[in-house]
Every structure is written in C-alpha cells, then in structure tokens.
Amino acid sequence: MHPVLTTVIQRLALGLLTLFLVSLLIFSAVEFLPGDFTQAVLGQSATEETVAAFRRELGLDQPAWARYLDWIGGVVQGDFGTSFSGRAASGVNRSREVVDLVAPRLMNTLFLAGMTALVAVPLALFLGITAALWRNSLYDRAVNAATLSTISMPEFFVAYILILVFGSLVPIFPSLANVTPEMPLGERIWRCILPSATLMLVIVAHMMRMTRAAIINLLASPYIEMARLKGLSARRVILYHALPNAWAPIVNVIAFNLAYLVVGVVVVEVVFVYPGIGQLMVDAVTSRDIPVVQACALIFAGTYITLNLIADILSIVTNPRLLHPR
C-alpha cells in the first residue's frame, strides 16, 4: 500500500477514536453540571416524589452508562434526541427535536464563519507574503505591530470596541446581529459586518504571522540561495519557490483558524446576540437542556477534529518524501 494512503487511513482512524473519546468527555462534563433540568423546572418547592417522577419521565433515572449508550447510538443514526425545553411536570410535551433546533442555528454560524473566511484567508496570505517580501521594512513592522495588538486582545474586548466606535460614536453598522431566515442576503451581510470583523481581526493575525514565518524560514534553504544566484527577483523567489514548500504549515494554521471560526464563535455570538449555535449552547446550559448542550458540544468537537484532520491530510499529501518514496 502506498505510504500516503496508509498514513491517511491512520489519521482517519485516529480522528474517529478522538471523536469517540471527546463524546465520553462531553457526556461526563454534562453529568457534573450542578443541578438538572427537573430542579430548574419544578423549583425548590417540589417534593422528592414529583422530582423523581419527572426524572423518570425524562429518562434521567437511568444509569449514566445506559444513557450514554442510548445517546451515542442515536447520534450514530443522526438522532440527537429531544430537547427538554417545552416539557412540564404536568405531562404536557411541547418539546422539539434537537436536530430541528440546532440545524438553523448551525447554518447561521456557518454563514458567519464563511463570510469571515472569504475575506480573512486571502487577506492574511497577502499580508504574510508581502511582509516576508519586504522583511524588516516599515511596512513589515507596521503589519507585525497591528497583528500583535489584535492577538493580545480578547474577542469580547475587540467586539465592544467595534460596537462603541462603529455602532455608537459613528453609527455606521448595526450593533446587534439579529438576523432572521427570511431576511434578504444583502441585509444579512450588513448586520453581520461587526461580528465578522471581530473574528477577522483575530484570525488574520494568526494566519498572517504563520505565513510570514514559514516563508522567511525557507528563505535560508540552499535551493532558495540557488534561485537567487540565478538572478531571480525576490518576488519570483517567494511566490514560485518558497511559497509552494511552505504550504504545509500554512494550511495547518488556516484549518486551525477556520475551526476556531465555528468553535470559538460563542463569545462573539453572545456579544452581538447572533442566533448561532454558540448562543443556543449558552441558552441550553442556562436552562440545563442536556440534549441540546451535548449536541452543540459534539458538533463543535466534530468540526474542530474534521478541519484539523483535513489539514493534516493535506500536509501529508503535499509532502514530496511521501509522494515519491524510494
């Protein structure tokens, strides 16, 4: 079997094993949350018999291992269970399937992440390449100072600064990203500009600095020196000789930041009241809606693992030593 195919299969198996272990961790973490949904609904005045009956109705009286097997078995079949919200001790059940709750919120989060990535990735590559091309120049120092500043600030601080400046002092963009499914695309993009800019300022800095560092690291290689001795321009040396060999670390950091756009969007969604999966998870934790919390956490973990797995595979298949074994 070809070494590349063998390595890819190994990485896929490792990804599935990691996802299984993460599911165990998610279920265990939810188990240790203080209180539960029955106590939140019934209140402190409820009798032990009422609480026990309600827990039995929700299936919370089962052992932890039985509930985990039931949950993970449903997940494998695409069934994340039924939300606890809408249930009452009287037996009235107005709850919805978790998939119906998560799907529209996930689409909103993917829209925000995609909108950010379409601008952030090309911008980061451009800044990284040009900073390496004009290394130690005033432009390079200015770009590095700007990126270091954005990296050092937490997302919520950047978000509030943008809201203060562009939503209050100079009211250009809306401060709240309260989008709806029937909203036109243009208006949706307009309302998502500030949360997208918040995410962009953070991930552009990481990707730009990695791109610059990877290219500069390769400029000391012997084949780069040979290209320079042939009289090639600095631009041609970087674009046609250094950049193709720097793709492995660059692709990894791009995938890592794309995963962050989905996984780390929780704070930004809460600040801008954006109806994404991060906001849904925060609301579910507050109400102790266990099935929704588990579904959101598993989606975050699966997204992160998948994107990093794709980056790992791309870095493997672009490795000449694996593509052309002796």
- Give tens-digit pLDDT for 128-183: 888 888 888 898 899 888 888 888 888 888 888 888 888 888 888 888 888 887 88
Q: What is the mean pLDDT of the chain?
A: 80
Q: Are 305 and 15 in contact (CB under 8 A)?
A: yes
Of the pLDDT bands very low, low, confident and very high (cuts 50, 70, 90), residue 322 is low
CB atoms within 10 A of CB 2: 10
Query: pLDDT tens-digit profile of 169-196?
Result: 888 888 888 888 788 888 888 988 999 9
Sequence spans of domains, the chain: 106-287
The CATH number for 106-287, chosen from 1.10.3720.10, 3.40.50.2000, 1.10.8.50, 1.10.287.1080, is 1.10.3720.10
Q: Any residues with CB less than 8 A from the CB of 46 and at least 6 apart, and which?
A: 39, 89
Q: 1-10, 23-32, 217-226: which has the minimum mean pLDDT?
A: 1-10
State the Cα–Cα distance between residues 161 and 268, nearest whole angstrom. Answer: 12
Q: Compare 108 and 45 and report the one with higher pLDDT.
A: 108
Residue 276 pLDDT grade (very low, low, confident, very high; cuts 50, 70, 90): confident
- Comparing 32-36, 80-84, 94-98, 255-259, the range with the smallest average pLDDT is 32-36
SS (H, E, C) 94-139: CCCEHHHHHHHHHHHHHHHHHHHHHHHHHHHHHHHHHHHHCCCCHH
The predicted model gives 237-252 an average pLDDT of: 74
